[in-house]
Structure 1
Amino acid sequence: MSSALEDLLRSYSPNAQQTIAKMNGLDPEALPGTPDHVRVLAQALARPERIERVLSDLDGVERLVLERLLLQNGQAKTDLLRQELLQSGFIPESPSAKYVGSPYRQLPRYFEDVLARLAALGLVLSTGDSEHNDLAEPAELSPSARVLIPDEIRRTLPSSPTWLPTLPPDGLSQIVEGAPDEFQRDLFLFWSYANSHQMVLTSRGWIPKRHWTHLNEEFRYKESLRGLRNEGETGRFGFLHILMEEMGLLQQAERELKPAPNSREFLALSLRARTERALRAWLRASAWNELSRIQELSSNSPRPPSSRLTSALKGARQFVAGLLRHAPPDQWVSLKGFIERARAVNDEFLLPRYHSYYGFHNPYHGHGNAVSWEFPAFDEAKGWDLVEARLIANMLQEPLHWLGVVSLGWAANEPVAFRVTPIGAQILGISSPQPEQAPERRIIVQPNFQIFALDPISDYTLSLLDEFAERVKSERVFEYQLSRESVYEAQQKGVTAAQIAAFLDRESNTPVPQNVKMTLHEWGRYHERIVFYQGVALCQVAEPDILDRILNDPRVSAHLAARISPTTAMARGSGAGLQGLRKALHGKGILSTSTRSMPPYAVQPDGRIRFRHRVPDFHILHQLAPFTLERDGDLRITEEAVAKAASTGWTAARIIQTLSAQQQEALPLDVVSKIKVWGKHYGDAAISKVTLVQFKSADILRELAEDLEIGPLIVPFSPTGALAIVRDENVDALRAALRQRGMGLDSQLRSG
């Protein structure tokens, strides 16, 4: 009876069988003459000593593929395995879909080459699809639909192998646990701050210092900010900012940083889901540059990184994350060993080596790498330790540790090991996802209107508390104060007192005190005494007795609501409702007009405002009030009124714009001129006599300015748009004209 290994070997061509024999130290010429040469080959391949020998000869990628198959019960679909290796940057893209792998190929090695060598070593063989194990024709060493480790080989291999060197915990002097919950809590505090504060970004897109220093004090993890000048020099804070924009939690609107619509829903996700989204955001983030975080490289690091460097960094992150999927989740992995394995798997994961007629280019010279960046490395041997090795270490020590994917182990004041956290293992697919407990009700409401929120509590719940209560502390226990002002602010956003009471009832783990419930009810009633109506139509009359007669007529009053002043009442409805009101008024012999049908007034040359209708729109009166006075029954633009408006911040340009918006025709030029004079539109000026000296060139001027004798006697003249030259004979006329325009005149020129 044949073995499974025999059956697999028989599906290969004689040429492939001979290559397998040769790679394993057998005489390929003798096999075809053996009565049952395939059985002899299978028996030779299954010997434990042979397997141990070839295992020691595997390179980094081959070990990784073998380990991945063992973690998947010894087999995998070829396309899925290829996609995983490509996405992680372990292998380059094959030159074509029909590429045939070779066990002898060196550089570059493609997926088909790696599998061909593993097949030639008798470790990983190919088979057909899941329904038909037999191949349609004899196979070569290049992989077919599925690859697997034969049972006879698999029995000799460890069930869950790892070639990563581990360290015992007692060899570590300090352990810094990865804390995904703290990262997500700081993310919430950042989001909450942006939701309640106006943050206008600098011209470089950075958050002003006063904001990031304040936020850093609120964070669970407080970064050392001493000596930092701008957000671009921060570490974890800048990382948080970049990730929140990348995840769509924050957005920029005219340089102001605000929470994005519906971003609050992210806070309701589980800790694992939020951490996974943050990890994926880091993998694709373009604005973050790990190389700038390496001290020896930061001075040369482009900010922001170029598109080519960004692409290389994204690939490097995928590579490191792919390697992490092979780390044992419960053991401390040597940082040095992890870096060495990364180099064995693909030492070109960041900077590919290019070959020319003169040999391989040094990838650390700007003209020899894909990112056009000059690294401070003179030879390739030292360059990898300076650039790639430190890049891997930085990714583990900063982004992956900040996110809570790995914990760090220290010895002799430096990190020497890492361990994948439980949540990190679930996200990376190392272990199966575990059910997460729903947050318990962790709110306590005190009779003195204090509210305490105890961990573990959902950030989503905290974000809702922020809407109607003032946060006093944001430590392990969040403390809030409920007040009439905080409830009123919530009502302005559409939250009712009844909704607040219902939320506290639902989320509190103890009954809400009765005095708090009753006070909330009273506050709600108090706030509703003043109601703002938007988009309503008003019926305005000239005299109060006219409105009295209208309201006493049922046919007209049916179209009116509350009377809000002696001469004004609110109309019911709009459109057809207003048309009904007009008809009812017409039936009483009252002809109505609409204030929006045409310009409401015209400004006369003497400053008097003539209204089109006898009853001016009170909205228009409100607009005109700051810069007009009522005199002799007319509304007028006067010097006194314009000067008063100017003292409260109104500019002449704003007054003219306000008048022009409702003016029937262009404003009279005399009125425009007077408003500019009264409103100090022209400001003040200075007239001073100076002597100008013209030199041969600007270079001569600069040279003379540095001369010990001439320098103190001259001041270089750099005219701006605010300076003009006036001939001597025109100075007096200019003085008079400027004074007519309300401008004060000085004899001393102003600086700037």
Structure 2
Amino acid sequence: STPEQAYLLTVAWGSLANWSEIYLVLRHLNHLELRRSGLYSYFHLTHLLQQLANVRLFLLFLLRRLPEETWYGLDHLLTFVRKLDDHYLYRYGDPDAWWLASRITHKRYAPDNPRDWPNTYGAFIAAMLEGPLNWLGIVSLGYDERGIVAFQITEFGTFLLGRRPIPTLEKKPEGPALVLTEDGQATLYPERSDIRLLDLLATMGKLVEAESDRLRYRLTAEGARQAFESGHSLEEIIELLEEGSRAPVPQKLREQLTHLWENFGLVHLYPNLTVIEFSDDFAIRELLAATSLAQHIIYQFSPRLVAIEPDAVDELVRELQKKGYTPRVAESLEETDDG
């Protein structure tokens, strides 16, 4: 049916990693270009597209919380996201690997510049609204002579965003939601699945085919690493896969996942670094938006642990104190062990 097909398209688009709304941004805003640092020769287009696919899921998470059929100004949404995290396009990557710049002067646009932000990094949000969200019927748009100025979540959009069950899908068909093979091929039947399994496969797998009633993924080592970094343990992953398939995970696939888990984060060699440990999983999001932390992160080990440049410690301590935090600075591991 039409609702089922639209739902499947929405799921497929949410995890689409071989196309991005950044193409729409660059096509419609001729003054922009995308540049990559020469120091990041290993950073390829596939890495960028995967990062931006994850950003898409973050923005969908925000939109799911908006009441339906209520008009919102685009400028208000952009202001909200900028204040929440002006580096949102770098939530899953390194801000020094790539950036937006002027096509004419090649000047680098800084994400923390509020004057340029709406027409540079904020344009990704407008592209999502005018592009896929509009095409799928999730939003309706309002325009004036400047272009898009407002949007609202449609009633149908609440179904596609997962806020309401689509009536035709309320009674799930019989049979397993997932079929796994030894070589890591996964066939998912979304109408039989729950959101946890959908999210897991969107993280662990690369979408290779979408049909009217099923999605085919290829599970990858990089996807497994991302699942581990997002907080999934091997035990949780195996449990979700077996619940979905109603069968044990194929032995070869289980062994591969076990090997990846055992080697996950086993060795990280970073001399002369400073480590910040947060007390909960949410503090880093606030600090990324409110301080210069994003400019100094070298590696994020987990939602609570990041490595930063040692020279940035004094500056960050001052910023944290201004925000009302009382950071403790330990000079050695022994000091941290003392509590």
Q: TM-score under structure 1 normalisation?
A: 0.20
Name the larger-Rg structure.
1
- Larger strand share, 1 or 2: 2
